[in-house]
Amino acid sequence: MSNLFEQIKEQLANADKKIVFPEGRDERILTAASQLGAAGIVTPILLGDKQEIMQKAESAGVDVSACRLIDPHDFPEFDEMIDMFVKRRKGKVTAGEARQILLDENYFGTMLVYMDKADGLVSGAAHSTSDTVRPALQIIKTKDGIKKTSGVFIMVRNDEKYVFADCAINMSPDSQDLAEIAVESANTAKLFDVDPRIAMLSFSTKGSAQSEETEKMVNALELAKEKNPSLVIDGEFQFDAAFVPSVAAKKAPNAVIKGDANVFIFPSLEAGNIGYKIAQRLGEFEAVGPILQGLNKPVNDLSRGCSAEDVYNLALITAAQA
């Protein structure tokens, strides 16, 4: 794990990325931000009442002098932000409604990213996933050709690195969704120095069983190839056929993936969530994420049970995405 984040730090050298933390009064956020700022890796932006943030930092015994503090209530460009938000929401809110909405730190922080005042956002230590993701979908929005954001985990054990998706966002993705997830997961893999070899997972390998569920993965495979013909991708696979060369040789001898997949696309959120937790608890992999992908600019969601180390690591990932 340490090697992974050392690589990211090297990537970020002299990049001068700014990451906004809407939960600027949370002790875990303050601890991580102080470390990031002191190391000069990124510039943390902490949102909230400045005096309260300073008091919380002093109480926690951390130095936030290398961080930028912004209080939405006295932000000098707040009126400009309101105008831009109303335009971005295409008249769905009035200026008066926008003023109240943007006092919410998650909305305010997301607008800082949209306005290029910050390069990415990390939230969720004290908010739900929907509180973090909703402003991103309304303001940052997904990339052209991508209808939905998705969540991946980087699974790390010693020198091994694998990408599992979608394990966080989409409960019942259809073939189009799965194709998008595959394409974006390949891009995410490259950020972590993984040359993507993508397996579309199922309970069937190359037609050994047939059902609506298996057809969904077969269709997703074809759609993903259309979206990016350069992908190294195949399916549908049972996990052992995707991961074990001897099994692949028996079950799918003519497949592009020969038991050497490193990016795994699960057919549902249920399967993905169970799969990454089994690898984490039984396989002793460390799970880095969830990392949100498919957005125009990076926004990432913490667990409310996160540690300061989790905040630090996710901030590095967010800066790398930027």
Q: Binning pLDDT at 50, 70 and 90, where does residue 97 land?
A: very high
Q: Binning pLDDT at 50, 70 and 90, where does residue 260 land?
A: very high
Q: How far apart are CA 202 and CA 216, in angstroms?
A: 9
N- to C-terminal Cα separation, the chain: 21
Phi then psi for residue 267, to 5 deg, are -75, -15
Question: Considering the chain, what is the average pLDDT of its residues?
Answer: 93
Phi then psi for residue 135, to 5 deg, are -60, -35
Identify which of 238, 265, 276, 318 has the alpha carbon closest to the alpha carbon of residue 156. Answer: 276
Q: What is the share, in percent, of the chain residues with pLDDT greater than 70?
A: 99
Tally DSSP H helices, then E strands, for the chain: 13, 11
Mean pLDDT of 199-203: 97
pLDDT at 41: 87
Residue 154, pLDDT > 80, answer yes
Q: How far apart are CA 232 and CA 73, in angstroms?
A: 50
pLDDT at 5: 82
Q: Binning pLDDT at 50, 70 and 90, where does residue 217 land?
A: very high
pTM of the model: 0.87
Mean pLDDT of 17-23: 95
Tell me if 262 sits within 8 A of 273, measured CB to CB: no
Q: Binning pLDDT at 50, 70 and 90, where does residue 259 land?
A: very high
pLDDT at 15: 84
Identify the residue whose tokens are 């993903």.
Answer: 224
Residue 106, pLDDT > 80, answer yes
Which residues are CB-neighbours of 159 under 8 A, at least 6 positions away? 3
pLDDT at 1: 62
Mean pLDDT of 201-205: 96
Q: Binning pLDDT at 50, 70 and 90, where does residue 195 land?
A: very high
Mean pLDDT of 218-227: 97
Residue 102, pLDDT > 70, answer yes
